[in-house]
Homo-oligomer: A and B are copies of this chain.
Amino acid sequence: MAKSRSYRLLCPIARGLDAIGDRWTLLILRDLHAGPARFTDLQTGLTGIAANLLTDRLAKLTQDGLMTKSDGQHGAALYQLTDRGRRTRDILFELALFGGGQPAPEDRVKPGNLRTVATTLGAAAARTALPDVGITAELRVDGEAISLTVRDGAAEATYGSATQPDVVLDTSYDALLKVSEGEITLMDFATTHSSIQVNTPGKDQQFMQVMQQILEQFQQV
């Protein structure tokens, strides 16, 4: 593992950056917040990180106690966040809020998978106050499934299908970006850029309420 440059400052901000400030590191954490992932899952989501760099980063994150490596099915290692690693979530969310306001040139591409969507929605949902809502939803974004559950005031979003979802929402990454950046309204998003399938009658009201609260997180100027 190549040792990364350190600022060697006592300042907590500098110490934080020593742990997660290296190139790619925050994007790796971003994808891990969507749930455990294999090496290849990460490599795909990061669109073109060199394999050796990914190896380096995973080693450092593991050594620093932000992540663990465990053996999954048939030799496929699984990487997942530790409790300490999960504490980077709000950093990522603030970064997303800021980055959403940055101009995006034309040559930008979609990430290789949409784990980032699960992370961002999950972080936003965790900031909402949803006392009496109990719901399991599946979002299909450009065909990729994201599971969103809210129960007992706690919210969680993971990459992958939901089991027995009350509601399934079908939409696109483009539309999600647009609504989160205020280019289209929530109403417009829900009606013309999404289609919804209700498995548990009545739950669609709760779901829309949740989505509204999530997306409102992005509106704070």
Contacts and interface: CB of A to CB of B under 8 A. Distances in A.
A118 to B, nearest CB: 12
A23 interface: yes
Interface in A84-98: 84, 87-88, 90-92, 94-98
A27 B96 CA distance: 19
Contacts of A92: 13
Contact of A7 (B18, B27, B120, B180): B27
Contact of A10 (B18, B19, B21, B177): B177
The size bracket of the interface on A is 35 or more
Given A9-B47, A12-B120, A13-B30, A87 B91 contact: no
Copies of this protein, total: 2
Interface stretch (A107-115, A154-162, A191-199, A203-211): A107-115
Contacts of A97: 12, 87, 90
Contacts of A58: none
A17 B13 contact: no
Smallest CB-CB A-B distances: 9 pairs: A16-B99, A12-B99, A15-B99, A12-B100, A16-B95, A12-B96, A91-B94, A90-B94, A15-B102
